[in-house]
Amino acid sequence: MKSNDIILQTAAKFVTFIIMIFSFYIFLGGHFGPGGGFVGGLLTSSALVLMLLAFDIKTMSTVIPFDYKLLIPIGLLVALGTGVGSFFFHVPFLTHAFGHFTLPIIGETELATATIFDLGVYLVVVGITMTIIQTIGESE
């Protein structure tokens, strides 16, 4: 059925932008404030679900031609890689390291390896949520 959804589609385009930025902020700010990989991943997938609601599943798969199932092993590998990486420095598994660095634009920031582990969590959460929702949405 063709229906006239122009108000929902225009609003969804704008709002998805805001949600994506906010999820990125939540993901990066998880070390010092509330947030982290799990909430950031859920927010990103909620932005993608909003686009799925406004447009249909075929349009989304042509705009983002990417299999969300691939995100799950990639995220698990990233999380495992941070654990295995600590063996190269002769410290126990999943040892956390951090340091202060001077970045070109932002200035002095504290970079921690926990962020890379969070990136793995983020990828797994986005992959699992989008896989569940797309699988339920496709079955007739």
User: Interface with other proteins by CB under 8 A: which residues?
Assistant: 1, 3, 7-8, 11, 14-15, 18, 22
Min. distance of Cβ 132 from other proteins in angstroms? 24
- From the number of C-beta atoms within 10 Å of its C-beta (0-12, 13-18, 19+), residue 89 rates as exposed
Place of tokens 């983002």: 64
Helix (H) or strand (E) holding 109: strand 107-112
Q: Which CB sits closer to other proteins, 19 or 78? A: 19
Q: Which CB sits closer to other proteins, 22 or 55? A: 22
Min. distance of Cβ 113 from other proteins in angstroms? 27
Distance of CA 37 to the CA centre of its chain: 7
Min. distance of Cβ 90 from other proteins in angstroms? 42
Q: Which CB sits closer to other proteins, 14 or 32? A: 14
Report the distance separating Cα 25 and Cα 43, nearest Å: 11
